[in-house]
Structure 1
Amino acid sequence: MRITFWSLLFVFVGSFQTSAQNDYYFPAKAEAWETVSTSDYNINNGQLQKAVDFAKANEYSGSRDLRIAILKGFEREPFHEILGPTKKRGGPAGMILKNGYKIAEWGDTKRVDMTFSVTKIFLSTVAGLAVDQGLIASENDRVGNYVWDGTFRGKHNEQITWAHLLQQNSDWSGELWGIKDWADRPPREGDIDDWKNRKLNTPGTVMEYNDVRVNVLAYSLLQVWRKPVPQVLKENLMDKIDASTTWRWFGYKDAWTTVDGLQMKSVTGGGHSGAGLFISTEDIARFGLLFLNDGKWNEEQIISKDWIERAITPSEPNVNYGYMWWLNKKGPRHWEQVSESIYYGAGFGGNFIIVDRDNDVVIVTRWLEPSKVKEFMQTLVKAF
C-alpha cells in the first residue's frame, strides 16, 4: 500500500475535525452563550425547528398562577396546603445544547421559575458530593448511623439506607414538618384509613413517589453537611459551573432545625406544597452539561464520574428510576424510538432536563404539557 503526503494530510485533517466536534464548550459566567451552526454537526435544522415549534405549541394546561395549579393538581391529598413560597410562572421556554453550544432556544431562558421535582436531581447530587468527600462512607450505609435524633427510630425505619431514600423505595414512616408520609400521594381508590394503617414494605422492594420521604433525605443531608443544603450546592457545584446568582432553594415556612447552635432551614426536594428550587433555564442547562461531561467542568472534576454512573443505574423495584433521575429503559416510562441511554429530571407542570449521551446533547424544556414530552423527544431525535 502506497502512503502519500496527501493521504496523510487527509487523515490528519479528518482526525482534527472529529476531535474538534467532540470538544465541549463551557460558557463562562455571565457571558453570551455561544451558538453553533447546525450544519457543523450534520443536524437537520428543519426537524430541529419542528421540535422547538412543538414545545412552544404544547404549553402546560394548568394555571400560570402556580399556587392555583398546585392546589388543583394535589387536591385529593388529605390536609394538603401551601407551606412554602410559590411564584407565577412564565410561558414555554427551553434550550438545546450540542457539545455545550447552543443550537436552539425559545422563550425567556433567564427567567427564574419553580422547577418542582427537577429539584430532586440537585438533592441527589448533594448526596453524591457527600459520598465523594467522605462525609457519607457509602450510600448503602444505614441513615440512622448518621442521623441519631429519632428520625430513623423503629424496626422499620432503622433498616433504611441512603440508597433507599435516593431511589424512593424506603417506605419511611413518620411525620416531617407537619406532613405525614401516608398523606402524600395516597392511592386514588380505597379507604384512607386502610392506607395509613397498611403493612410497610421492606426498604428497597417497592418504589413509591413521596415528597415527605424526599424531604427526609434533605433533612438528613443537612445533618451530615452541618450547613444549609443550598449553601453546599452553591459552594461545591453551582459557583464552579459559573451559574448565575439568581437561583434560590426554599423550604417550608416551619422547616427549621438547630445545628451547632444555629437555626437552619431544611429545604424541600419538590414544590407540590410550595418551595423547592427556583432557577432559570440557563442555569439548569449548565447543570445538565456538567452531567453530560461526566461531572467535569473545563478541567475540574466537580462530581465523580463513578457517582454519576451509580446515580443513573436502574433500581431493583423500578427499571426507570435511579438516584432520583428517570431512566429511559424499557419499562413503564420508556420513550420508544429514543435512546435507552437518555436520563432526565422531571417536574410538575412540564419541567424537564434531559441528558442524551449518544448525541452529546442536553435539552431543557419548561412548561411543556407533561404527556407530550415523549412525542417532543421522538420529534427532536430525528434531527440528529
Structure 2
Amino acid sequence: MKKIIVCTYLSLTFFICQLTAQEIYFPPAGKWQEKSATEYNLNFSEAIEFAKSNEYSESKDLRQAILKGFQHEPYHEISGPTKRRGGPAGMILKDGYIVAQWGNTRRVDMTFSVTKSFLSTTALVAKDKGLISDFTEPVANYVWDDTFEGEHNSKITWKHLLQQNSDWSGQLWGGFDWADRPSQEQTIDEWRSRELHEPGTHFKYNDIRVNVLAYSLLNVFRKPLPKVLKENIMDPIDASQSWRWFGYENSWTTIDGLKMQSVSGGGHSGGGMFINTEDMARFGLLFMNNGMWNGQELISNELIDEAMSPSVPNPNYGYMWWLNSKGSRNMENIDNDIFYAAGFGGNFIIVDQKNNLVIVTRWLEPSKLEEFLNIVYKNI
C-alpha cells in the first residue's frame, strides 16, 4: 500500500493533514482484475494500434533473426534453444490493474536481454540473503576457479559485472569476450590484442560477461538460478508455471557433486528467458512497488534504489536495467525516473513508479519505443 499525505492550510501556523491510502492491486495466481482506462481519465487506444502496426520487422523464425542480427560477430553460433515468436502483444497496468492489453498475453516467447533484469534480480536476492556481503567486493573472493585469475580480472567486482563495465577478459562456454559485438573498424587480431579498460571505467554491452555473472551467481547459490528465481520471486508473485530459463548445450558445470546448467543472460546465442507477457507484467509490478508484493518484501527497497542508480561510465544503465536519466539514451519527453528492461526484437518492461504504471510491449520495432511511449504518455 502506498500512502499520500494531503495537507490543508488553515492559518499561519496550523495545517490539517489527512492520510489517504492508495491501494496497489496484486493479482492472484491465474487471475487479473481489469479496469477501464477511462476510470483514470486515460485512453490507450492509439498506443495499442501503434504497437500492433509497428511490429518487429525481422523474421518470426527467431533462429534466422538471431543469425542475421549478429552476423558480423566472428565465431557466432546458436548453442541454446530458440522458438518461433508470436505477434505483437502487451499490457498496461495502472495501480496493478489491467487498463489495456493486446495480442496473446499468455503466449510464451523468448524475451532476449530482458533476461538480464531477471538475472540481476537474483544478485539482489543473494545480497539480501547475505550470500554476497557487498557488491563492491571482488568476485574472485567467491569463485575459486580461474575465471577471475590475473591482474585485470581479479579486480572485477559484482558491481562491475552488474553495470557491464568490468571489461572481463577471457572465454566462457566457447565464447570469447572480444568477439561479442566487436567494432567493425578493427580486425580480429586487433580485437584480440586490444588494451583492457580499468574495471568500472568503460561500459560495454557484452553477453559473454553477462554469462560470467550468471556463472558466478550459480557458484554463490550452489543451485540453478531458475530455481532461485522461482522460489524467491516468481512463485511469491504468483507467476504462471509456463516460464523457462535456459543456458547452452555446453554450459554445464558440477557443484556439490550435481550437474547444473549455467543459464544465459539473453538469447544472443539462443537460450535465456522464455516467458509470457503477463508474467513479465507481474515482474514489473514488483519493481514498481519497490520490491513489495501484497505486504511481503521480496527485495529490499534500498537494493532496488541501488540497482536503479546510474553507473559512472553510462548514466543510462544501472544493474542491468536501462534508465531514462540524462544521457545518450534519454527519451526527452518521458520522465527521467522511469526505468526499463529491453530485449532484442522489441521486448520491453517499462516501470513508472511516479504514475504507478507498468507497460509491457513485445515485438515492437525497437526504434519505435520512444514514439510509442510518447503516445502512451500524452494524456497522463
Q: If the length of structure 2 is used for normalisation, what is the TM-score? A: 0.94
Paired positions, count: 364
Q: Which runs of 4+ in 1 moved over 4 A?
A: none
Residues 77-125 of structure 1 deviation map (CA, whole Å, 9 limit, x = unaligned): 0011100000000000000000000000000000000000000000000
Using the alignment, how far apart are the partners of 2:117 and 2:294 within structure 1? Answer: 22
Q: Residue 299 of structure 1 aligns with which residue?
A: 295
Q: Residue 257 of structure 1 aligns with which residue?
A: 253
Q: Residue 42 of structure 1 aligns with which residue?
A: 41
Using the alignment, how far apart are the partners of 2:317 and 2:195 within structure 1? Answer: 24
Using the alignment, how far apart are the partners of 1:383 and 1:69 within structure 2? Answer: 35
What SS does the corresponding residue of 1:231 show, helix, strand or coil? helix
Using the alignment, how far apart are the partners of 2:108 and 2:34 within structure 1? Answer: 22
Q: Residue 24 of structure 1 aligns with which residue?
A: 24
Using the alignment, how far apart are the partners of 1:117 and 1:109 within structure 2? Answer: 19
TM-fit CA distance, 1:40: 2.4
Match of 1:71 among 67, 73, 80: 67
What SS does the corresponding residue of 2:336 show, helix, strand or coil? coil
Using the alignment, how far apart are the partners of 1:176 and 1:383 within structure 2? Answer: 48
Where does the alignment leave 5 or more consecutive residues of structure 1 unmatched? Answer: 1-13
Match of 1:373 among 355, 361, 369: 369
Using the alignment, how far apart are the partners of 1:137 and 1:120 within structure 2? Answer: 21
- For 2:270, the aligned partner's letter is G
Using the alignment, how far apart are the partners of 1:177 and 1:195 within structure 2? Answer: 19
1:91 equivalent in alignment to 2:90: no
- For 1:344, the aligned partner's letter is Y
What SS does the corresponding residue of 1:266 show, helix, strand or coil? strand
Contact 2:37–2:100 (8 Å) recurs in 1: no
Match of 2:51 among 48, 55, 79: 55
- For 1:151, the aligned partner's letter is T
Q: Residue 4 of structure 1 aligns with which residue?
A: none
Q: Residue 7 of structure 1 aligns with which residue?
A: none
Q: Residue 77 of structure 2 aligns with which residue?
A: 81
Match of 1:102 among 98, 101, 106: 98
Contact 2:88–2:102 (8 Å) recurs in 1: yes
Q: Residue 164 of structure 1 aligns with which residue?
A: 160
Q: Residue 190 of structure 1 aligns with which residue?
A: 186
Using the alignment, how far apart are the partners of 1:64 and 1:37 within structure 2? Answer: 32
From the superposition, tell whether residues 97 and 15 of structure 1 become closer, same or farther in structure 2 (CA, over 3 Å).
farther
What SS does the corresponding residue of 2:113 show, helix, strand or coil? helix
Match of 2:227 among 223, 228, 231: 231
Q: Residue 269 of structure 1 aligns with which residue?
A: 265
1:358 equivalent in alignment to 2:357: no
What SS does the corresponding residue of 1:253 show, helix, strand or coil? strand
Name the % identity. 63
Using the alignment, how far apart are the partners of 1:355 and 1:30 within structure 2? Answer: 22
- For 2:222, the aligned partner's letter is R
Residues 142-191 of structure 1 deviation map (CA, whole Å, 9 limit, x = unaligned): 00000011100000000000000000000000000000101111012222
TM-fit CA distance, 1:52: 1.0
TM-fit CA distance, 1:15: 6.5
Q: If the length of structure 1 is used for normalisation, what is the TM-score? A: 0.93
Contact 2:284–2:350 (8 Å) recurs in 1: yes
Comparing both structures, which one devotes a greater share of its residues to helix? 1
Contact 2:80–2:249 (8 Å) recurs in 1: yes
Residues 303-334 of structure 1 deviation map (CA, whole Å, 9 limit, x = unaligned): 11111100000000000000000000111101
